[in-house]
Amino acid sequence: MSNMNNKIAPRIKILPENLVNKIAAGEVVQRPASVVKELIENSIDAQAKSITVIIEEGGKNLIQVVDDGVGMNSEDALLAFERHSTSKIATYEDLENIRTMGFRGEALASIAAVSQVEMFTRSTTEETGTRVKINLGGKVEATPQAGPAGTSLTVRNLFFNTPARKNFLKSTATEYKHVVDVVQRMAIAYPEISWKFISNKEIIFNLPSGKLIDRIADIYGENFTSSLLNIDQGNEFIRIHGFLSRPDFLKRSKSEQYIYLNRRFIINRNLNYAVSQGYENLLLKGFFPIFILFIEINPNRVDVNVHPTKLEVKFDDEGSVYRFVVASVRKVVSSSNLIPEVTSETIKESKSRPFNGVFSSDNRLSDREYLNNRDSIFQTSEINLKEIFQSEESVKSEKLSVPTSDAGVESIVIKTIQLFNKYILLIEESGFYLIDQHAAHERILYEKAVDRIKSKETKTQELLFPQTIQMSASDISIVKELLPHFSSLGFSLKIFSNSTIIVDGVPTDIKPGREGAILQEIIDAYKEDEHGTHLEPYDRLAKSFACKAAIKSGDILKINEVQSLIKELFSCKIPFSCPHGRPVAVKYTLTELDRKFGRTT
């Protein structure tokens, strides 16, 4: 009987509502920028045409968001501060088909739990508005008041009643930057809304409503927009549209990378990486593209209810979305006129002896040797540099047809010269190009290699005498892993032991006499690339092959070799960059030269 009287009290308790609200606020309200985001989303859902954001001390002391949306009546104004109260959804089916920015009904209750909140709102259907004030004890007071239609919500002293949370806030400058980022992201997503942002009584920006490209120009400037490529691709299931930066307009940070899903800004590393993949190795190491992309997809194919912040989403088939983004970006980048387009079909067939596709290996000179052998270089190339300035007829030249109008094309004379055994000078009537011969050949070989691996169309030249190559066990394991890809490239390899490979044949692009050395160099380059990229193994192998098999700086090219290189380069899908992102060609226009020399005519 005594045991019954000494019954231990239960340890599990139901938490009081005010404590529950504070805990919930920890997920929704992380810093001032979180409050700004939630309030702006409410304004957008209220169909606002104008939104004003006011902060003081980075939002620590004051946050105010004013809109001209539909507003609320007095009853809704009071219900809005109850947990899980919302006008956005009513059934489970609504949750599966979210088309609004907010839907959880947590924001206002969470904000009111950790700050001093006051709100004025008036519905567009009523003449009098309502002012709601939440006292320190959580008591809600509502009074009628005249005012404009819409809603103005003021938040003061964020985290005043949770000192530990307040101590975790960063400096005013840091919190201010986070607020700017939020307002800017929202302003980009909704260019049809006019936006005003005020910090410490200073107008930071005042953006009129307009088109997306105008909004981007207002925020980043005209020079920024002139370096963007337009993208608009889609099918019956998904659409992507917006803007990408040209490959020659990159940043050292990822700060200007925006992806919106159904106009909701999201954070998804896979999709960000998909965009980078779409640039097809045009990005220099350490630099990142700028993009503002909008993905539209049926809401029932995504889950935005992953986290209270609604920044993370889940797709029902993220792999398909990833591939669609890669393909769309690649199509836009590869078809853009990043350098003036010259097609190989318009180049007349060379009148010199046919070119067998393999560049000479016995004509390579170092830079020092070049300086001592300048005359012989021009003889080898069958071009006399002096005659360029004396007689056009004395220089071997090719004709390219460059489109000038919809009515037809105009043929212009192109002259080619090899300079310093590194570059090819390509002269046409509006200026000239400098082409890096190694980067150009690398791009050609890379695209050929990828095509061969994907199509499995092998082109092999059999060796008269098979070569035996000694390798480390780790290198042998790489060969085993990539053996099908090596075969597609044109290598005929047999693994003889854990340290020996027999080479019976090599790709037709390999220089005779260096078969074994190039194979080892390809494997070494593949290993170096392993930790610095997320490319598919076949793509990394293609890059390594192209780099090591391409002509080098110092290789002397005959005129037919130069002509063949140019023809193949301009038939590439992406002729303006090597697989590692270095530029292939730089153009200098006659206008630029005239300006350098102070000429006006």
Residue 84 is predicted with a pLDDT of: 65
Residue 356 is predicted with a pLDDT of: 47
Name the nearest CA neighbour of 157 among 113, 99, 201, 221: 113
Residue 367 is predicted with a pLDDT of: 40
Q: Buried (b) or exposed (e) across 429-440, using 16+ Cβ within 10 A?
A: eeebbbbbbbbb
Q: What is the architecture of the domain spanning 227-335?
A: 2-Layer Sandwich (3.30)
Residue 430 is predicted with a pLDDT of: 81
Other CB atoms within a 10 A radius of the CB of residue 70 amount to 18
Task: Indicate the residue type of 309.
Answer: T
Residue 149 is predicted with a pLDDT of: 95
Residue 527 is predicted with a pLDDT of: 76
Name the nearest CA neighbour of 439 among 567, 547, 601, 311: 547
Name the nearest CA neighbour of 110 among 30, 43, 182: 30
Please identify every stretch of the chain with a pLDDT value under 70, giving residue numbers as ranges: 1-7, 9, 11-28, 84-105, 136-138, 305-310, 337-414, 529-535, 601
Q: For the domain covering 17-207, report its CATH number.
A: 3.30.565.10
DSSP state of 463: E
DSSP for 362-431? S-B--HHHHHH-HHHHHHHTT--GGGGGT-GGGS-EEEEEEEEETTEEEEEEEEEEEETTTEEEEEETTE
Provide the whole-model pTM: 0.63
DSSP state of 499: T
Name the nearest CA neighbour of 32 among 155, 186, 167: 155
Residue 28 is predicted with a pLDDT of: 66
DSSP state of 286: T
Residue 280 is predicted with a pLDDT of: 73
Residue 535 is predicted with a pLDDT of: 65
Other CB atoms within a 10 A radius of the CB of residue 582 amount to 16
Residue 184 is predicted with a pLDDT of: 93
Residue 102 is predicted with a pLDDT of: 54
Length of the chain: 601
How far is 493 from 357, CA to CA, in rounded Å?
A: 22
Sheet bearing 238-245, strands edge to edge: 228-234, 238-245, 291-297, 257-261, 264-265
Name the nearest CA neighbour of 547 among 572, 575, 519, 579: 579
The CATH number for 456-549, chosen from 3.90.1150.10, 3.30.1370.100, 3.40.50.1380, 3.40.190.10, is 3.30.1370.100
Task: Write down the domain spans for the chain.
Answer: 17-207, 227-335, 344-439+556-596, 456-549
How far is 526 from 422, CA to CA, in rounded Å?
A: 25
Q: What is the architecture of the domain spanning 344-439+556-596?
A: 2-Layer Sandwich (3.30)
